[in-house]
Structure 1
Amino acid sequence: MQLVFIDDSGQSDPRREHLGELVSVGAVIFPEHQVSEYTKEIDLLRAEIGMPDDQEFKWNSPRGSFLAKAGGPTVKEQRRKMLEIAARCEVRTAVVIWDRSKVTWDKHEAAGEILKYLYERIERHLRTYDERGVVIADVPGGGAADHSKWLAQALDLTTAGTRYAKPERVIMPIVTAPSHHVPHLQLADLVTAATTAAFAGHTSGLELMDMLKPLARTNAYGDIGGTGVVLWPPDLNDLYFWVLGQKSWWKGSNECRLGPSDGPFAQPGRPFQNSDGMPE
């Protein structure tokens, strides 16, 4: 059995040129026997830094909270230690990132679509390990009506699946829980937010990529792009080169080269082929 914890994130103002608002959803996947071990280690980390029991680890800590007051060096160290614990607990991750400026759907429509993409990665992961799984999501923001709508979308996944993934391995409807009481959801917040920040071009995420990459799911070729990190639309795929160092991307049995071409000009529809889009 594996337990999957999911949370959403976003970046309203990416630093990279050619990017609009990013919305994302990510999963951290635990072998069952590591769930309690992670809780123990996080409790030790909390005691080590003197964090009160009634506060949670958040990427964007509320004003006045312990982490907001602690300052940058403490927060950076805390994030790295959380990812170290995740690695010791054999966690695997997947994050889906959608650029709303290129596919201008309503935010709720986009959220439903990226949840489908994430669900497909969860089903494939469980199939790879011949496991069953339970998915727990952070309670969505927006109140009771939005919560009910989100649960209905999630129920469709676990009853009908998607075009590319049948509901075979996730054994029950996706349930929600408040992240305040579930440290594994707090890790999902960190992984999803940090990965999204890195692809948006923010230092806060880029400086964690050395720890995020070993956690991310990979395909049969050892590549993260398209498996542990999914970008949509495909116009963004060259960012797998700039952020992950990945030189090719496989679509079925076809290998697509990523990054700079031999010539000076980018192919149409590939804004990041010859540049990472970062301001000089």
Structure 2
Amino acid sequence: MSSRFERYALLLTLPAGIMVLALYALPILQVLSLSLTEGKGAWANYSQLFTSRAVAKVVGTTLNVSLLTTAITLVVAYVIAFGMIHMTARSRRIALLMVSIPFWISVLVRAFAWITILRSQGVLNGALMGLGVISQPLELVYNRLGVTIGMVHYMVPFAVLLLYANLTDIDRRIVQAARSLGARPLTVFLKVWLPLSAPGLGVAALFVLVFSLGFLVTPALLGGGKTLMIAEYISVQISTTRRWDLATALSTALLIVVGLLIALALRSPTMRAAFGGGRR
């Protein structure tokens, strides 16, 4: 009976498997094939990634913005998630609703909203100048700062939900035991909460970093062409300069880097446990 059920279950997954292959695997293989055959061939295509100053600058900008976004997002999301688990049930439901609302709003709408807030004649600069805090508008958008703000805003809800799920699984009896032994609140946080929430922080950091490496719309709008990241650079090579050789090679390299990051993260027993792949 069990083997028969497993066969039926396998048949039920076949349509989804075929769809994944058609929509994801085949295009990725096509990109890989183009990176090996377009232009002057594989060696010339991939050697550009190490010899081109433009590529080096774009990669450096992407790493800088992605790492900064990840660090800020983790701090903000941890504070929110930590506060949520200490709320009453009613307040927690409202907080979860507030965290979920950004998922219903298009990334384009969010980017344009930040432009309205941060531009020279925007809401924030207007308020600060009206209060006499500043005499000249601050440059808050169309630069790296604007891109980072937009990316952090986009990634915080994801990180909050990941960290909230992790923090709710922490046994409160351990915290109570630490308090009963005379540990101060800061000591309890540093010695109990942070170590026990390390798997959640690791998963959230990996998730945010991987997403940040491939951001396109937010950097394109909030960067104003002054903060060029990998995804936008690839888009320019395909749609404007028609350099498919460089675009596909860079796309493949980005895919490999993301795969390596995930593989290295899963070598950690803590991360494997967080992903549900620990030893049994």
- Given the two structures, how large is their TM-score scaled by the length of structure 1? 0.23
- Given the two structures, how large is their TM-score scaled by the length of structure 2? 0.23
More strand by share: 1
More helix by share: 2
